[in-house]
Structure 1
Amino acid sequence: MSDEMLRATAEVKYADELEYLESVDDAPKPFSWRLSPKMVRLFILGSEPSDGLDREIPQKWFGDRTFVERSIVTLASDRGLLLIGDPGTGKSWLAELLSAAICRDSTLVVQGTAGTTEDHIKYSWNVSMVIAKGQTRESMIPSPIMTAMEKGAIGRFEELTRSTSDVQDALISILSEKYVSIPELDDDNIVYAKPGFSIIATANSRDKGVNDLSAALKRRFNFVRIPVVTSRRSEAEIVRFRTTELLRRHRIELDVPPTLLDILLQSFGDLRTAAASAKSDDEKLESALSTAEQIGVLEDAILHSHFFGDRTLRAQTLAGSLVGSLARRNPEDLSILNKFWHGVVEPRSKSDGGEWTDFLEGGKQAIESLS
């Protein structure tokens, strides 16, 4: 079934694992949860021999286990969960995995934008049915959040700080009172949240000041800050995991040489160091240089090699993808990358040689073509 989807949700993609874990799970479960907190953690972080399972459960989210545990504990309480961090730190992926493990439905999502309205988190009306039969429960269109309330499931709110203060304020009563009133109806005009309902929201820490959360709304959430991955080993695991999924999804048979993965990781590490020492925003790349962006660079290089190359990933192609992906402002980003290539990549090419030499030349060509 998942092969027929461009991107299967976590509960579809890992349906077999979830069914297995539920069948062997004898630990207490909060509310209507499908898995116990321990099994939710195991599903997300992977199994170990000490868990005593007769099959291996692979790790799906790479980060500090305390972030996962705190998130699970929060959802087992009556508070909402707010995952906050830089772009590309895996907030949405963690939210999806949590929802899939807890209620087997990660699709009850509201995307926060400047155009998000209160109707998107409460309800709206089917106009044709209202004209024909009037305002009834049947003519009401529940939002994903209201559907989550009725099912006792997890509702997700992506990019909470992108939505306006009116929309954010509407969440306060939902998180506090756990019901939504429908004043247009005379009877059956209150939707109560069933046990198990909660909200996982995400927020981009770089959006600070866009639509800051009120103190009242902050009190309704437990904050879990997801930092940028700085461990070279963890980052390599994430990139390998995502790359394997990419190759499988596109049905591509192509090896990623470990030396090229090291070059990619080293380059991003050096770029982050340069950004940290920059004296102004003009000296920093617009890119957040996140792990997700590394995966995007590698994906671009793999697809380019597969469709337009000789189906072998080469350093020159990787360099071109890196420059093309990170050079978003012209001429600012190109100038920064040009300095980086001559000041960091070129000396490393002279000292280490090998693939670094081709990487150097590929980057120079890409910068020149974009200048």
Structure 2
Amino acid sequence: MSDLLRAPAEIKYADELDYLESVDTGPKPSTWRLSPKMIRTFVLGSERSDGLDRVVEQKWFGERGIVERAVVTLASDRGLLLIGDPGTGKSWLAELLAAAVCRNSTQVVQGTAGTTEDHIKYSWNVAQVIAKGQSRESLIPSPIMTAMENGTIGRFEELTRSTSDVQDALISILSEKYVSVPELRGPEGTVFAKPGFAVIATANSRDRGVNDLSSALQRRFNFVRIPVVTNKASEAEIVRFRTEELLRRHQLDLDVPPTLLDVLLRSFGDLRDAARQAASEDEKLGSALSTAEQIGVLEDAVLHSDFFGERTLTARSLGSSLVGSLARRAPEDSAILTKYFTGVVGPRGQQEGGDWPEFHQAGLDALKALA
């Protein structure tokens, strides 16, 4: 793992998956590596009632029912579509589910405006085709086709970012469970899915209207909506979990005071409240203000403190990082943040003291530098 910038879940949690597999006595669908109950334990963490002799850490923070419905869908003939706002953990949940089911979460197609049908089905090795002609050896399978052949999970990120004709290439895969290769004759002309094959797709709810799914494709997916985390305790737990992971990944021995985590959480809560009360889009920050963006602000502040500051996270670095991460549009975002720091953070610093005055001054200084 030390040689990887970011290890996939099946490598990062390999020891835990090995342990769960060794003690798993539950029924497993087809070729699954873990039973549905053990997959839920892997994703949401263990409880005393599970009777395990070691603790399994929680990796995704959300409702149990969401994970259970996702697991049930993967055992069915339908695809799983995780849909929600940016930063709600859709991709992370998809990765964890794929790692638990088949120990391979890397068979991924990334949906963009440039995604073609070849990315979903197959393409050709031109050099081999010229030398030996079209054959099974010269065919380059897509990640989805590879998952079909191996009976594993194929993932499609940001499905609605790809065009409608590309999306519809999934229809035959999800319904008939095979891909035809017209260029090849005989048995090699059809690639059939093996037991265990399933598709997990994600879609950003803010992309609605960009490339909406056809009704035919919608029928072949079970929609599981991932809500924005609104529970402050759950959000605080997510941020703490990611902070510990961040420090381990960067091998940092740096103190992160809990009071500064509270400043970050309350600031995002204030900005979300302001966005909900805004009369127009111009009065809202361009940022989605998701939990993922909170973690991004924290990572920026932690690294800045380690590289250029003291051996502890400071309110000054946090305030500067928040402005640097959220002031994306000029002058709209700068004006919104200036109003927040002068109208909310300033008075709060006078009333509560603590880290707020330094946070307030750092934010104003950063905004002044952007002007």
- TM-score with structure 2 setting the length: 0.99
Q: Which amino acid in the other structure matches residue 259 of structure 1?
A: T
What is the rounded CA distance, in whole Å, between the counterparts of 1:24 and 1:114 in structure 2? 45
Write out the 4+ residue segments of structure 1 that deviate beyond 4 Å after TM superposition. Answer: none
1: distance between equivalents of 2:348 and 2:363?
13
Corresponding position of 1:270: 270
Q: Give 1:35 deviation, angstroms.
A: 0.2
Structure 1 residue runs of 5 or longer lacking an equivalent are none
Structure 1 range deviating more: 152-161 or 350-359: 350-359
Report what 2:279 is aligned to.
279
Match of 1:87 in 2: 86
Aligned counterparts of 2:62 and 2:339: Cα–Cα separation in 1: 32
Identify the residue that residue 256 of structure 1 maps to in structure 2. Answer: 256
Residues of 2 paired with 1:345 and 1:66: CA distance? 38
In 1, Cα distance between equivalents of 2:63 and 2:47: 16
Question: Counterpart in 2 of 1:186?
Answer: 185
Amino acid at match of 1:105: N
Q: What are the residue-to-residue correspondences of 1:356-367 with 2, within 5 Å?
A: 356-367=356-367
The residue aligned with 1:343 is 343
Letter in 1 for 2:172: S
Where in structure 2 are the equivalents of 1:187-226 lying within 5 Å?
187=186, 188-226=188-226
Aligned equivalents of 2:64, 2:357: Cα separation in 1: 39
User: Following the alignment from structure 2 to structure 1, what is the Cα–Cα distance between the partners of residues 204 and 311?
Assistant: 37
Match of 1:133 in 2: 132
Give the corresponding residue for 1:20.
19
SS at match of 2:329: coil
The letter for the 2-side match of 1:136 is S
AA aligned opposite 1:271: L
- Give the deviation of 1:311 after TM superposition: 2.0
- Deviation per residue, 1:173-223 (Å, 9 max, x gap): 110100000000012210000111110000001111110111111110000
* C-alpha distance after superposition, 1:236-276 (max 9, x if no partner): 11111111111111100111101100000000000000000
Find out whether 1:160 has 2:191 as its counterpart: no
Equivalent residue number for residue 239 of structure 2: 239
Counterpart residue number, 1:299:
299
2:136 corresponds to 1:99: no
Partner Cα separation in structure 2 for residue 255 and residue 228 of structure 1: 29
Q: Which residue of 1 aligns with 2:50?
A: 51
CA distance in 2, matches of 1:50, 1:225: 28
Task: Kindly state the Cα deviation for residue 344 of structure 1 after the two structures are TM-superposed.
Answer: 1.0
* More off after superposition, 283-292 vs 241-250: 241-250
RMSD between superposed Cα atoms in Å = 0.6
CA distance in 1, matches of 2:278, 2:93: 31
Q: How many residues were matched structurally?
A: 370
Q: 2:8 and 2:325 mapped to 1: Cα distance?
A: 26
Find the aligned partners of 1:364 and 1:83 in 2 and give their Cα distance. Answer: 39
Percent identity between the two aligned chains = 75
Q: 1:114 is matched with which residue?
A: 113
Measure, in 1, the Cα distance between the counterparts of 2:42 and 2:175. 30
SS at match of 1:275: helix
SS at match of 2:168: helix
Q: Which residue of 2 aligns with 1:334?
A: 334
What is residue 288 of structure 1 aligned with on the other side?
288
Q: What code does the residue aligned with 1:12 have? A: I
Matched, 1:312 2:312: yes
| In 1: Cα distance, 2:193 partner to 2:89 partner | 28
Distance of 1:214 and 1:38 partners within structure 2: 33
Partner of 1:60: 59
